Amino acid sequence: MKQKTTEFLKDKFNELEDNGYTWTIRRLAGPSQTHVTVDGKKCIMLASNNYLDLANHPKLRKAAVKAVEKYGAGAGSDWSIAGTMDVHQELFDRIADFKNTESAVTFQTGFAVNAGVIPQLAGKGDILISDELNHGSIIDGVRLTKADRAIYAHSDMGELEKVLKEAAKKDYRRAIVITDGVFSMDGDIAKMDEIYKLAHEYGALTYVDDAHGEGVLGNGYGIGKEFDLEKEIDFQMGTFSKAFGGFGGMFAGDEYTVK
């Protein structure tokens, strides 16, 4: 072998740095709030997803401390073996009620939801139809499947219909239209009423990443509530790390989808 050490990683990092693909990690001294100290300098926070400042709400902080005192700092096991506590099931039930679905489950992160769930929903013989500006976790989730994939121009309903028409001509088992609810880079809102109408017309299912919609749209309930489509959207995912000020991801749908 020509390289027996990890020196190649240093070379790779230097290459990335030379091409402007690295960045400096900023360190906060204290909680994420409107005014923060970053690397010793006082700043106004404009980069956080803590929209409603719930990460610092006294009730949430007290509840977190109380939960640790009662349940400990960790579950002690995988949730499918012996790590699911009554408080977890209570959370699942409350999420389902919040999203107006039959069932719900949590993941470590929102990214893990899309990367973990999408490959379970589609495989060989299916097609996934995705907005070109969908979040990277959706893109990765789609890539992990063996399904065919089609990308439509951002929020272009004419192109979405064209893709759905072409998919309908083929013998796919199922088609799923996947979209962000609120697009994370530009902040624009998906045309969920039109997306659902087209998907329904052509027999496709709908999957919505509501990470940036929850806590903001539909009186806080998200894009389903905003468009009065809570019962119509087939698959919904979200996070606790944005407006809710916590950490983790969630997936909601009908009972057997979640199972």
First to last CA, the chain: 48
Q: Is the pLDDT at 1 greater than 70, yes or no?
A: no
Catalytic annotation, residues: 184, 212, 242
**DSSP H or E segment with residue 58:** helix 58-71
Give the pLDDT score at 83: 85
Q: Is the pLDDT at 239 greater than 80, yes or no?
A: yes
Q: Domain boundaries in the chain?
A: 7-44, 85-258
Closest alpha carbon to 203 in 229, 238, 165: 165
User: How far is the CA of 79 from the CAs of 89, 100, 257, in angstroms?
Assistant: 11, 24, 18
Question: Any bridge partners for residue 237, and if so which?
Answer: 209, 251
Give the pLDDT score at 3: 63
Give the pLDDT score at 79: 80
Give the pLDDT score at 5: 77
Higher pLDDT, 185 or 126: 126
Give the pLDDT score at 149: 97
Q: Which class is domain 85-258?
A: alpha beta
Q: Tell me which of 6-10, 13-17, 39-43, 174-178 is least confident.
A: 6-10
Residues 145/175, Cβ–Cβ less than 8 Å: no
Collapsing DSSP to helix, strand or coil, 85 comes out as coil
Residues 104-152: tens digit of each pLDDT: 999 999 999 999 999 999 999 999 999 999 999 999 999 999 999 999 9
Residues 18-51: tens digit of each pLDDT: 999 988 888 999 998 999 999 999 999 998 999 8
Collapsing DSSP to helix, strand or coil, 5 comes out as coil
Locate 11 and state its tokens: 């070379």
Give the pLDDT score at 147: 98
Q: Provide the pLDDT confidence category of residue 80 given band limits of 50, 70 and 90.
A: confident
Q: Is the pLDDT at 228 greater than 70, yes or no?
A: yes
* pLDDT > 70 in the chain, percent: 98
Residues 83-103: tens digit of each pLDDT: 899 999 999 999 999 999 999
Supply the mean pLDDT for the chain: 94
User: How far is the CA of 104 from the CAs of 31, 100, 110, 248, in angstroms?
Assistant: 29, 10, 14, 13
User: What's the mean pLDDT in 210-232?
Assistant: 96
